[in-house]
Amino acid sequence: MFTGIVQEIGEVTASEKKGGNLRLTVAAEKCSGQLSPGSSIAVNGACLTAVESGGGKFRMDVVEETLVKTALGDQVRRKFVNLELPLRADGRLDGHIVLGHVDTVGSVLKIQKRDESWWYSIRIPGEFMKFVVHTGSIAVDGVSLTVAEINDDICRFSIIPHTITHTIFQYYRDTDRVNIETDVVGKYVEKQLANARPFRPGAPPITLARLKEEGF
């Protein structure tokens, strides 16, 4: 499990195709020293496994399924990636619960500079918007963010200078693809509501639409 708090920006120094998979070498002085073969690490929000580590670098294999379901194939060509080691059992949950299981790929639509922050507009595939709520949490390339505004399938975020400096948000350009993981709590709630039994024989099942009708 991760928290969405990026610990280091890694630099992709080598990329090698191995069949349908991709072997990556990432330079990361801080994180590599804490990895051993078999260790997990979140790379742009995707939980991957280190196969080698040493000399300030580590290597990992990105399988074909991950390349299909994430933007990692695009992102490694931009050279820099967000890195986060798994949360220790005695650690502090500063962001939110992030599993490292990317749900979908979004796209950066617009970046606006403000006086002391940046306003990012990101389009998320519509079928995943049911898990996105105003002022709720979401992970974008492994970064825990708060949703500031929602307009149909477009989410907007206010990004502070610290986040710009310590993540690959500083390298984004319009149309860049990004990994999206929605809040796992919302997924479990939807699952439970979908399978909920009626309150009484013949009563309609509990759905989001029914809850809204009842004033919730």
Whether residue 197 is predicted with pLDDT greater than 90 in this model: the reply is no
Q: What is the pLDDT of residues 68-96, one digit of tens each?
A: 999 998 888 889 999 999 999 898 899 99
Q: Return the bridge partners of 24, or none.
A: 15, 60
Instruction: For residue 201, give both structure tokens.
Output: 């024989």
User: What pLDDT score does 43 carry?
Assistant: 97
Domain 104-189 carries which CATH code? 2.40.30.20
Domain 8-84 carries which CATH code? 2.40.30.20
Is-same-fold flag (8-84; 104-189)? yes
Which H or E element spans position 70?
none
Asked whether the beta carbons of 182 and 131 are under 8 A apart, the reply is: yes
| Residue type at position 139 | A
Q: What is the pLDDT of residues 10-43, one digit of tens each?
A: 999 999 988 889 999 999 999 999 999 999 999 9
Pick from 74, 21, 7: which is nearest to 49 by CA?
21
Looking at the whole model, is its pTM more than 0.85?
Answer: yes
Residue ranges per structural domain of the chain? 8-84, 104-189
Q: What is the pLDDT of residues 123-159, one digit of tens each?
A: 999 999 999 999 999 999 999 999 999 999 999 999 9
Q: Return the bridge partners of 106, or none.
A: 178
Tokens 């479990």, residue located: 188
Cα distances from 172 to residues 4, 7, 25, 143, 154, in angstroms, run 18, 18, 21, 13, 17
